[in-house]
Amino acid sequence: MNAQHPAVRKFGTAAIEEAAQEIARGGIVAVPTETVYGLAADASDSRAVARIYEAKGRPSFNPLIVHVPDLAAAERIARFDDAARALATRWWPGPLTLVLPLRPDAGVAALVTAGLETIALRVPAHRAMRALLAATGKPLAAPSANASNHISPTRAEHVAASLGARVPLIIDDGACPAGLESTIVMEGRILRPGPITAEQLGLALATNEGKVVAPGQLATHYAPGKPVRLDATSAAADEWLIGFGAVAGDDMLSASGDPVEAAARLFDALHRADASDRARIAVAPVPEAGIGAAINDRLRRAAHR
């Protein structure tokens, strides 16, 4: 293996087979989901899970999401009440994570939940993550495949730039369609806004003085390396302006003002802004409605220093 770069394999049978062997050996693999690229390991293997934390440089108190192929597999790991089962039936496979009471006999490494009695579970829709779940036959713990406190990756190149040789293998299946991390729901409240909106779920955000509450939802979680100014309608000379709708700039989230398109492009745009020759980043206002709530949640974190 090259010491500087991870192996990047185009999605396909051979790539999934190689990835499954890496997982079976207790290794870690970066794999796309419909939200962002995840850094996956066998959730039942504590040493494999430790490698995730090590590669990300992540504080070990921040629990991980576990990915399973279907509701039946999820019910073997956590206890569902009727409300949780209704949400799962309606939205899985898809970008919804449910935080539920962990079954004591679930066989999940304690490091996955950071010792909590609850566990975050989701059934992903993306073909690559689904193929890896099928090939390994294991529940896969997978946080976003970026170094801790960096912008989440929506392309294989973002993973390679952030983690480098700390990840041995990346499955490349292009850009993630949703582009924002999954919506997290616990006890009928939204802990993290995401691609499935509060309106679609008919649920309210769990807030604490206007801030979303989830362990590990650190204010700086999505910080680029440069200062970020929000609600900008024009840019200073040293600013890289990310446009939206009528506000044009150096980059554009959605010229037609489509928030779903903007969500899919957001992290890619932040990565480009970070790599630009400008010292600061400015971002045009994005309306709060629908998935705009999740976009603005990530932007506020990016702007918080």
Annotated binding-site residue numbers for ATP: 58, 62, 118, 144, 152, 192, 222
Q: What does 216 interact with, of Mg ion, ligand TXA, none (CB < 5 to 8 A by kind)? A: ligand TXA
Using the minimum distance from each CB to ligand TXA, give the nearer residue, 184 or 190.
Answer: 184
How would you classify the pairing of strands 140-141 and 189-192?
Answer: unpaired
Please list, in sequence order, all residues whose beta carbon lies within 8 angstroms of the beta carbon of residue 242, skipping any fewer than 6 positions away.
249, 250, 251, 252, 253, 269, 270, 273, 281, 282, 283, 284
Contact 77, 66 (CB under 8 A): yes
141 binds, among Mg ion, ligand TXA, none (CB under 5 to 8 A by kind): none
Please, which residue, 68 or 282, has the CB nearer to ligand TXA?
A: 68
**What is the smallest separation between the CB atom of 225 and Mg ion, expressed in angstroms?**
17
# binding residues, ligand TXA (CB under 6 A): 28
Q: Looking at beta carbons only, is 20 or 128 nearer to ligand TXA? A: 128
What residues between 245 and 274 interact with ligand TXA by CB under 6 A?
none
Q: Which listed residue (38, 168, 243, 249) binds ligand TXA by CB under 6 A?
A: 38
What is the C-alpha to C-alpha distance for residues 265 and 254, in angstroms, rounded to an integer?
Answer: 8
State how far the Cα of 227 lies from the Cα of 305, in Å rounded to an integer.
8
Q: Using CA atoms, how far apart are residues 107 and 233, in angstroms rounded to an integer?
A: 52
Among candidate residues 31, 303, 275, 78, the one with its CA nearest the CA of residue 173: 31
Binding mask 213-232 for ligand TXA (x = CB under 6 A): -xxxx---------------
Question: How near is the Cβ of 6 to ligand TXA at its closest, in Å?
Answer: 17
Strands 211-212 and 207-208: antiparallel
Shortest distance, CB of residue 143 to Mg ion, whole angstroms?
Answer: 5
Question: Which residues in the 148-187 window bind ligand TXA by CB under 6 A?
Answer: 181-182, 184
Segment 88-107, which members bind ligand TXA (CB under 6 A)?
95, 97, 99
Is the omega angle on the peptide bond into residue 93 within 30 degrees of 0, that is, cis? Answer: yes
- Tell me if residue 236 falls in helix, strand or coil: coil
Q: Which is nearer to ligand TXA, 142 or 156 (CB)?
A: 142
Is 120 among the residues that bind ligand TXA (CB under 6 A)?
yes
* Cβ-based neighbour number of residue 85 at 10 Å: 14
Question: What minimum distance in Å lies between the beta carbon of 202 and ligand TXA?
Answer: 21
Distance separating alpha carbons of residues 83 and 261, to the nearest angstrom: 30
Interface pick for Mg ion out of 35, 113, 136, 144 (rule CB under 5 A): 144
**Token digits for 101?**
């009471």
Whole-number minimum distance, CB 110 to ligand TXA, in Å? 12
Stretch that binds Mg ion, among 78-86, 114-122, 139-147, 266-274 (CB under 5 A): 139-147
